[in-house]
Amino acid sequence: MAHQIEPHQYTIQRSVSCCGVGLHTGRTVNLTINPAPANTGIQFLRSDLVDRPVIPARVERVVNTTLATTIGEGQHTVSTTEHLLAALRGYGVDNVLVDLDSHEVPIMDGSAGPFMRLLKTAGLCRQQALRKILRITRPIVHTAGDKSIRIEPYDGYKVSARIQFDDALISEQRYSVEVTPDRFGKEIARARTFGFVEQVEQLWQNGLALGGTLDNVIAIHWNRRSILNENGLRFDDEFIRHKVLDVIGDIALLGSPVMGHVIADRSGHELHLAFMQAIIDNPQSWEYVTYKKKGESLLRQVVPATPTSGHCFAPFFAPIGDAMATSSACI
């Protein structure tokens, strides 16, 4: 195998909180990540609303992919989920309840870095239940014009991506990474979102990106040869690294860890959503598996699929009320 598979599900040891601004509203957002029992998955609680709705982070809950990934339940939504989801998946967290008092996850510094620091402060908690891993057995491809994204069988989780811009600063960039907590933290988590100055100005004029500043967005100069941020780039190829981050965050909406190699060519949130739907629509190309340790070896066991909504895709999420009846104690 490319790296050791961790067979058990994980949550965090203690609740951790942060405060930031919403990228589009510019309003202050308070967010707390709480431990959750096994088989809960990642769920968002809108504690600012009277009925306190809980929105599962699942692909079928995606309601908008314009500028960010937004999930919803009825009339209630949570937007800009991808950076936090990337941190949770990159750090290896399966089950948490994310409490926030707004419809936007705070943008923080425009990367997943602050969320990774929060999770490290919280600490990991290994749970008794085994992970149900979505293992790719045959290639699946989704293409839209000159953009594409595919996934191939692979003994691990790997993401490779390419972007192409007609400017001197970005031009063509490629990056490939084995998604482990260590490599995600060192190579991907701190890569920030970016945009061209005139695009940001246009968003401001339309009442969007009101929380966008040089503290949380890489602003590419009109000359396309430099950026406006005084401290420069964190990586020479920070742009493609952030695209990899977005891929990881969006694909976390499949609801289970993935075993496969994702190859994205000039992809974005809309393409990621269509790609995840292509995976769901091709159950003959994947299977759910669990792993059990026997000495120094890992034994793989195929999980029987349960038909759901006409197909076999069935994330392990449980309703939060049912899940809370299950112990979340560490082992």
- pLDDT (tens place) for every residue of the chain, 331 residues total: 445 679 999 999 999 999 999 988 889 999 999 999 999 999 999 999 999 999 999 999 999 999 899 999 999 999 999 999 999 999 999 999 999 999 999 999 999 999 999 999 999 999 999 999 999 999 999 999 999 999 999 999 999 999 999 888 999 999 999 999 999 999 999 999 998 888 777 877 777 777 888 999 999 998 888 999 999 999 999 999 999 999 999 999 999 999 999 999 999 999 999 999 999 999 999 999 999 877 767 888 999 765 443 345 555 444 444 444 444 567 7
CA 111 to chain centre: 12
Q: Are strands 172-178 and 157-164 parallel, antiparallel or unpaired?
A: antiparallel
The domain defined by 8-320 carries CATH number 3.30.1700.10: yes
Helix intervals (H) in the chain? 82-91, 113-122, 181-183, 197-205, 238-251, 269-280, 320-323
Q: Are strands 133-136 and 124-130 parallel, antiparallel or unpaired?
A: unpaired
pTM of the predicted protein model: 0.92
d(CA 205, CA 277): 34
Q: Which residues are catalytic?
A: 269
Q: What angle do CA 112, 229, 268 make, to 5 degrees?
A: 45
